[in-house]
């Protein structure tokens, strides 16, 4: 048994050495590379070619042979850190599993109204109501296209990370400067996590706690 699949991607659960055991193989592999563990870039590229689905915009899935498993924000960050995903691979900074429809204000209001009984509940807040936040896949699975336009949007701090990975950050670009300002604030706040380790080089030991003690990533950090 191994923590790597046949494409040398790392996972937090043991595999048979062939099939992936998680949906975040690229992210965990980015952790591994950052702590100095070896991977096979050729095999990683082969895996990336298998999880691409030709389309306009380019469609991505988490693992080969899982055609209905859309990418997550975590995997987008992992791919970027590994040099396998460029800004051009995202359309309007969105990683939706479907082509993004034309924006419709009336349709957006209609969809918000449609889900309001499910996501709005009575609360003791000063406004009397609170939102029960839904995972992005809720909007995708229910074909609420105007909402997954937003739920699959790449956060601005991630946009800066992706741009910098490929040397495409521009000091004269107002949008890029805005991303940089927000990312700076984010780097100084927030809780420890593996994502913060990838983006800001922080919380290495907190990241390692995501893995069993016999995991190569945990050992690389603690030994």
What is the pLDDT confidence band of residue 123, given thresholds at 50, 70 and 90? low
Give me 50's structure tokens: 């298998």
pLDDT of 129: 47
Instruction: Please name the residues in contact with 36: beta carbons below 8 A apart, sequence gap of 6 or more.
Output: 220
pLDDT at 127 over 60: no
Q: Which among 161, 202, 188, 185 has a CA at the least distance from the CA of 74?
A: 161
pLDDT of 34: 93
pLDDT of 118: 65
Compute the average pLDDT of residues 96-105. Answer: 77
Q: How far is the C-alpha of 139 from the C-alpha of 130, rounded, in Å?
A: 18
DSSP code per residue over the chain: -EEE-TT--EEEEEE-SSS-SSS-HHHHHHHHHHTT----HHHHHHHHHHHEE--SSPEEBSSTT-TT-B--HHHHHHHHHTT---GGGSSSSB--SSPPPPP-HHHHHHHHHHHHHHHEEE-SSTTSEEE-PPPHHHHHHTT-HHHHHHHTBPPHHHHHHHHHHTT---TT-HHHHHHHHHHHHHHHSS---HHHHHHHS--HHHHHTTS-TTSHHHHHHH-
Question: Is the peptide bond between 129 and the residue preceding it cis, with omega within 30 degrees of 0?
Answer: no
Instruction: Write down the residue that tokens 């051009």 correspond to.
Output: 88
Q: Are the C-beta atoms of 194 and 31 separated by less than 8 Å?
A: yes
Q: Are the C-beta atoms of 1 and 14 separated by less than 8 Å?
A: yes
pLDDT at 78 over 60: yes
pLDDT, tens digit, for every residue of 46-61?
998 888 776 555 577 8
Q: Are the C-beta atoms of 17 and 1 separated by less than 8 Å?
A: yes
What is the pLDDT confidence band of residue 100, given thresholds at 50, 70 and 90? confident
Q: Which among 209, 164, 171 has a CA at the least distance from the CA of 187?
A: 164
Q: What pTM was estimated for this model as a whole?
A: 0.84
Ranking 18-32, 49-63, 150-164, 173-187 by mean pLDDT, the lowest is 49-63
What is the pLDDT confidence band of residue 91, given thresholds at 50, 70 and 90? confident
Domain boundaries, the chain: 2-97+154-222, 98-151
pLDDT of 47: 92
pLDDT at 132 over 50: yes
Calculate what percentage of the chain has a pLDDT beyond 90: 38
Does the CA dihedral 14-15-20-26 come out positive or negative? positive
Ranking 9-18, 116-125, 168-177, 196-205 by mean pLDDT, the lowest is 116-125
Q: Are the C-beta atoms of 122 and 128 separated by less than 8 Å?
A: yes
The angle at the Cα of 138, spanning 66 to 132, to the nearest 5 degrees, equals: 145
């Amino acid at each position: 048994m191994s923590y790597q699949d046949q494409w040398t991607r790392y996972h937090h659960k043991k595999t048979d050495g062939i099939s992936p055991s998680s949906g975040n193989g690229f992210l965990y592999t980015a952790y591994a590379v950052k702590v100095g563990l070896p991977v096979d870039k050729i095999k990683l590229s082969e895996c990336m070619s298998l999880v691409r689905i030709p389309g306009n915009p380019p469609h991505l899935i988490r693992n080969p042979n899982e055609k209905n498993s859309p990418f997550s924000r975590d995997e987008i960050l992992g791919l970027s850190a590994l040099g396998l995903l460029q800004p051009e691979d995202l359309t309007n900074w969105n990683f939706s599993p479907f082509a993004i429809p034309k924006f419709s204000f009336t349709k957006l209001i209609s969809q918000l109204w449609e889900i309001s009984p499910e996501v709005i509940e009575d609360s003791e807040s000063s406004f009397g109501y609170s939102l029960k936040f839904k995972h992005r896949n809720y909007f995708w699975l229910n074909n609420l296209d105007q909402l997954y336009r937003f739920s699959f949007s790449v956060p601005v701090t991630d946009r800066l990370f992706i741009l910098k990975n490929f040397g495409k950050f521009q000091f004269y670009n107002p949008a890029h400067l805005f991303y940089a300002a927000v990312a700076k604030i984010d780097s100084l706040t927030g809780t420890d996590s593996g994502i913060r380790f990838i983006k800001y080089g922080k919380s290495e030991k907190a990241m390692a706690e995501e893995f069993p003690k016999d995991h190569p990533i945990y050992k690389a950090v603690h030994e």
